[in-house]
Structure 1
Amino acid sequence: MDNKFPPRKVPSFCSFRYGLSLLLHVCNVLIMSQRMCVSLTMVVMVNRTDPHGLPNTSTEELLDNIKNPVYNWSPEIQGIIFSSIFYGSVIFQIPAGYLSGIYSVKKMVGSTLFVSSLINLFIPLAAQVGETLVIVCRVAQGVAQGTVAAAQQVIWIKWAPPLERGRLTSISISGFMLGPFITLIATGFICKSLGWPMVFYILGACGCTLSLLWFVLFYDEPKDHPCMSISEKEYITSFHVQQVSSSEYSLPIKDMLKSLPLWAICMCIFALFWSSTIILFYTPTFINSKLHVNINENGLLSALPHLFAWIFGILAGQMADFLLSRNIFSILNIRKLFIMLGLLLPALFCVCLLYLSSSFYGTIIFLILACATGSFTMVTVIVNTLEIAPRYCGFLNGFILVIGTIAGIISSTLTGIILNQDPESSWFKIFFLIAGINVIGVIFYLIFAKAEIQDWAKEKQHTRL
């Protein structure tokens, strides 16, 4: 039976599968850093309030202008540059998820990580040509990064034993949470000391190097890896003996669209991306409006929620697999528990930000908790697709990531409109909207979620000869 686990377990701490999870973790850190760095370098890239190029400009200012070229981009152009990477992600995440179930994930992840990093190296040159080329580069970069995000989840079908899926997935996915922290901390320092182009050069060079390392260290099949121990290969493959890899398969689109367990996952990913995108882009604005700190303190305070989100994300995977291995709860109840924690707690802390954050420390604590507790959902939304449809999880992960990306685009745009039109009560509307969407996502998931393979996702035995 599928639910019988081999009695012999290979120690996980120094195993290759955990090394693979850490490698993916670093990949995701770099992807997120490349995505976010432009939002911080833009402060230095755009024209300053003082007239540019005055005849009495000092030598120090001239050297600074050489190190930090300045462009006359309007707020509208800046907004398009910020959001253009999301349009690239939306375009290709579903095809990438589908193709990852057919072609080599090693080649897909490695090559698109290299392309994203190569584009990052050319963005300073593109900025000299004009904002249109920067936007084109960001869209192309979004296509590459969307492919990395969608394709990597297929890896755990073959590499993760069922009792370790939560922790392996949470370790790799938490890289998306650590990336903003590192970016917010390091970008300002690099811009000041080396110039903003060096931010793109450093992240691009690191990504190119990592992509080459990926091609060396990763293999699509555990059994083909030359560096793994035989005992670990046997341990991993013993869980997947019944899986049939097929180079071609038809997608049951109609059954997918009618699947309420799948839409339950989509509702949760929509709520997660809605709130996390607002926190990602508007935390500095919120801190500035409430605490009135200087730019250096704002950067540090804005980075702290992402650091704790990274810590909570890793802990969530450990907790989920511990509960599963001890048979404390069923798989479905564990998924529901972490969805409740990951959506209801942020909703609660968002409301606390409005009514209980009169002090400096109160605001920071509730802001950290609102961001960090959302990480509990990651142990469910990604792993749950492996459980209800392992055969199509690549395509489904691409689909739910598109749903999440659309939520992020809508939430960031709507938040900007609310802040622009109603500055007095804007944060009340923004945070109550987050809380409401999270509660709806929890209710829908509690009613319709499943944790077993659905009929439309099962292998059709009668089609074999």
Structure 2
Amino acid sequence: MLQGWRLTVSKMFLIPQRYILGIMGFLAVVNAYTMRVSLSIAITEMVASSNETDSVDVDACPADNSSSSSGSVTDSNILYDWDETTQGLILSSFYWGYVITHLPGGILAEKFGGKYSLGLGILSTAIFTLVTPWVIYSTDGDWRILVLLRVLEGLGEGTTYPALNAMLAKWVPLGERAKIGTLVYAGGQIGTIVSNSISGALITATKDWASVFYLFGGLGMLWFVIWALICYSDPESHPFISDKEKIYLRKELENVSSEKKTIPWRPILTSVPLWALIAAQIGHDWGFFTMVTDLPKYMSDVLKFNVKENGLWSSVPYIVMWLVSMSSGWLCDWLINKGYMGITFARKFFTTIASLGPAIFIMVASYSGCDKYLTVGMFTVAMGFMGTFYCGMKVNALDLSPNYAGTLMALVNGIGAITGIITPYLVGALTENHTLSEWRIVFWISFGVFNVTNLIYCFFGSAEEQWWNNPNALKDQKLELENGGKEKLKAEKS
């Protein structure tokens, strides 16, 4: 009877379970980013506007009546006096917690499966997002309490990428790695698009920034309920996967061990390709977090877009980035499967495009002056190029070690996420006067980081499976070391 129920339920799913996992993983990242990014638009409407004009910038963009940057929120009781440096601290504080839970999240996902490591992390972030307005109101805008709340949100969301990577390693065959991996990780762009575009329109309609947190927190909780019901950590534990798909995945993923493993920390931490991958992640995250966290502020403070326009035009670059992400994922798999590119060359090729393109066009945007739409166009081209990161370096941890993919993603994404702490604070400190010249310094720094980290990846990166991915190879090395120690001891005695 149980077998019959399982077959009946499995027939209800018209697509294979690995694709359902990919779609739900994509929606997990979408929700994670809507909750993470919503503050970037909201904070432009949470701060009381200042009339101070102490500094003069010859390049300053004039505000015009058609797109005045005056706030949509008129209730002075929910506007707060936070200077640029304080805003930078608030925006960066999410990443203080985010960095901390990467490694524990990856280890837990590998030992016990990624389903609840990911699910509970998103759920906790959703709850903290929902209570954000109440916390701010009840503390009368005490920014230190908001910082603490954002740290807690980051702690919950820090498990997202390590848990997803651990699950993808057990669900996705090599020939589909770039496609499904790109689908999942490119959810960051869709989350940013949804958050930016809806936030601006919602705040304009409600005249209240709190509505943004209620909406995205509620959607995060809804995602968790669906995830808990239909997704599982691996094919073997899935109650209604088809036998055909299970057999196929067993064959394709035979190098992925299902037994609980001791993490080989020394080989991992001394792996040159891993550190090259970390360098590439730092370059990507530096540019991406600068744009995600601070582009709305640039649109508001420099280009003088109002909040509705800000949300709309801040979304455009990520629409193009998502389209490029998806198409380049298919292209990358096709080039590899046809033998036109080796895996290592493909990873480096697409990563280089994703580094040089944004580095160049972000700088061009900063020299586009006050031409709003030319500037948005250049930012859009820059972020479009950045979309090829996902089939390049973002799936590279799966190449290096499918068995320890969660741990590797925790290290790579966790260290890269430190830039999320640095960039908002740095931008706030460097742009106190909201001038074009100040922002150009920010973009020149990004230009340098992109290029240096890409060179490191090109010289030292690899997509070859590392020897320590094989548990048998690790056992052989351990025996060899033990035998070598015994032989050495005998020689000393004799």
- The TM-score with structure 1 as length reference comes to 0.87
Output the CA distance in 1 between the equivalents of 2:277 and 2:198. Answer: 34
Whether 1:70 and 2:82 are equivalent positions in the alignment is no
**Distance of aligned partners of 1:413 and 1:352 in 2 relative to their CA distance in 1, 3 Å threshold:** same
5 Å matches for 1:93-112?
93-112=102-121
Output the CA distance in 1 between the equivalents of 2:90 and 2:171. Answer: 37
The amino acid across from 1:228 in the alignment is I
5 Å matches for 1:23-422?
23-47=24-48, 65=75, 70-75=78-83, 76-130=85-139, 131=142, 132-194=144-206, 195-253=208-266, 255-288=267-300, 291-354=303-366, 359-420=371-432
Output the CA distance in 2 between the equivalents of 1:421 and 1:199. Answer: 28
How many Å apart are 1:25 and its aligned residue? 1.1
How many Å apart are 1:362 and its aligned residue? 3.1
User: What do the CA deviations read for 1:62-116 (whole angstroms, capped 9, x no partner)?
Assistant: x974xx9515342254433322211010111122112211112111111121111
Unpaired runs of 5+ residues, structure 1, are 1-11, 51-62
Output the CA distance in 1 between the equivalents of 2:450 and 2:48. Answer: 39
Q: Contact conserved, 1:269 with 1:381, CA < 8 A, in 2? A: yes
5 Å matches for 1:449-460?
449-460=461-472
Residue of structure 1 equivalent to 2:482:
none
Q: Contact conserved, 2:468 with 2:474, CA < 8 A, in 1? A: no
Q: Secondary structure at the residue paired with 1:227?
A: coil
Q: Contact conserved, 1:44 with 1:70, CA < 8 A, in 2? A: no
Q: Contact conserved, 2:284 with 2:450, CA < 8 A, in 1? A: yes
Output the CA distance in 1 between the equivalents of 2:343 and 2:107. Answer: 26
Q: Contact conserved, 2:21 with 2:231, CA < 8 A, in 1? A: yes
The amino acid across from 2:260 in the alignment is S
Q: Contact conserved, 1:84 with 1:135, CA < 8 A, in 2? A: yes
Q: Contact conserved, 1:158 with 1:237, CA < 8 A, in 2? A: no
Q: Contact conserved, 1:153 with 1:382, CA < 8 A, in 2? A: no
Q: Contact conserved, 1:33 with 1:183, CA < 8 A, in 2? A: yes
Q: Contact conserved, 1:25 with 1:174, CA < 8 A, in 2? A: yes
Output the CA distance in 1 between the equivalents of 2:259 and 2:413. Answer: 24
The amino acid across from 1:136 in the alignment is L
How many Å apart are 1:185 and its aligned residue? 1.0
How many Å apart are 1:215 and its aligned residue? 1.0
Q: Contact conserved, 2:302 with 2:436, CA < 8 A, in 1? A: no
**Distance of aligned partners of 1:179 and 1:424 in 2 relative to their CA distance in 1, 3 Å threshold:** closer
The more displaced of 129-138 and 271-280 is 129-138
Output the CA distance in 1 between the equivalents of 2:451 and 2:47. Answer: 40
The more displaced of 155-164 and 345-354 is 345-354
Q: Secondary structure at the residue paired with 2:326?
A: helix
**Distance of aligned partners of 1:461 and 1:433 in 2 relative to their CA distance in 1, 3 Å threshold:** closer
The amino acid across from 2:113 in the alignment is S
Q: Contact conserved, 1:121 with 1:201, CA < 8 A, in 2? A: yes
How many Å apart are 1:197 and its aligned residue? 2.5
The more displaced of 110-119 and 226-235 is 226-235
Output the CA distance in 2 between the equivalents of 1:111 and 1:280. Answer: 25
Residue of structure 1 equivalent to 2:486:
none
Output the CA distance in 2 between the equivalents of 1:324 and 1:428. Answer: 39
Residue of structure 2 equivalent to 1:5:
none
**Distance of aligned partners of 1:185 and 1:421 in 2 relative to their CA distance in 1, 3 Å threshold:** closer
Output the CA distance in 2 between the equivalents of 1:308 and 1:361. Answer: 15
Output the CA distance in 2 between the equivalents of 1:433 and 1:48. Answer: 28
**Distance of aligned partners of 1:299 and 1:355 in 2 relative to their CA distance in 1, 3 Å threshold:** same
Whether 1:18 and 2:19 are equivalent positions in the alignment is yes
RMSD over equivalenced CA pairs, Å? 2.7
Output the CA distance in 2 between the equivalents of 1:114 and 1:306. Answer: 25
The number of residue pairs the alignment matches comes to: 439
Output the CA distance in 1 between the equivalents of 2:79 and 2:467. Answer: 56
How many Å apart are 1:266 and its aligned residue? 0.8
**Distance of aligned partners of 1:262 and 1:137 in 2 relative to their CA distance in 1, 3 Å threshold:** same
Output the CA distance in 2 between the equivalents of 1:357 and 1:13. Answer: 52
Output the CA distance in 2 between the equivalents of 1:289 and 1:186. Answer: 20
Q: Contact conserved, 2:37 with 2:293, CA < 8 A, in 1? A: no
Output the CA distance in 1 between the equivalents of 2:87 and 2:360. Answer: 33
Output the CA distance in 2 between the equivalents of 1:202 and 1:295. Answer: 18
The amino acid across from 2:132 in the alignment is I
Q: Secondary structure at the residue paired with 1:250?
A: coil
Q: Contact conserved, 2:171 with 2:249, CA < 8 A, in 1? A: yes
User: What do the CA deviations read for 1:20-58 (whole angstroms, capped 9, x no partner)?
Assistant: 2111111111111111112322334344669xxxxxxxx
